[in-house]
Amino acid sequence: MRLFVGIDLPWELRHRIAALTTTGIQGARWVPPENYHLTLRFIGEVPPHRAEEIDLALSALRGKGLELTLSGVGTFSKGGRATALWVGAEKNQRLEHLQNKIETALQRVGLEPERRRFQPHVTLARLDYAPEAKLAAFVQAHNLFRSEPFPVEHFTLFSSQLGKEQSVYTAEVEYELAQLPSWSGLTRPTQADEAPWRW
């Protein structure tokens, strides 16, 4: 199966992001809102026994919850051509820390290190020869996009089935993160088995 680790997004936020989409950019294949996610680590194709090891490694990871804010839009390019349009995430040390822990856990079970720098983003559209001027106008028009901060209380192991039009992503396993002090008593009861907070 083809796997990646990511963060799924609250539905209100998906709706807000979906409102950015437009028919005005030829060559843009817009990601449907049910597929919006923030990738923490792409894994790729693995046999079932590897998937089990990966699940065990991620289950053993003690991560901390965080608050995330999406902000700004931009493009990724390859060979001088724009390939993806995305919504960015504000710099967030806790997110980087979590990503780092996941990377370490996956390397420990034998995955090759990810060489690319972590650039947290939510892909809005994949691009095939989209006109540069249209992309620049889109980025300019939406660069002030900023979401409300939202709590990230778990991360997810997704499987992805490549499709002709769109891939189908399935949340296979959700891994709870230790709750933020500000959530205690508000969003869910304290779990006796959760690690205490150490900031």
CA separation, residue 36 to residues 8, 9, 30, 51, 89 (Å): 7, 7, 10, 23, 13
Torsion sign, CA atoms 161, 99, 85, 152: positive
Figure out which of the listed residues 13, 39, 82, 99 binds ligand 3AM, where binding follows CB under 6 A. Answer: 39
Q: Applying CB under 6 A, which part among 37-45, 51-59, 105-113, 178-186 lies near ligand 3AM? A: 37-45
Q: Is 78 helix (H, G, I), strand (E, B) or coil?
A: strand
**Cβ atoms of 19 and 58 closer than 8 Å:** no
Helices (H), the chain: 11-18, 48-60, 93-108, 132-142
Nearest approach, Cβ of residue 77 and ligand 3AM (Å): 13
Nearest 5°: the CA angle 29, 33, 36 is: 85
Which positions from 113 through 152 interact with ligand 3AM, judged by CB under 6 A? Answer: 123
Catalytic residue numbers?
A: 37, 121
Q: Applying CB under 6 A, which part among 38-46, 63-71, 89-97, 179-187 lies near ligand 3AM? A: 38-46
Quick note: the x/- pattern for ligand 3AM over 64-103, rule CB under 6 A, is ----------------------------------------
Give the residues lining the site for ligand 3AM (CB under 6 A). Answer: 4, 39, 42, 44, 123, 160
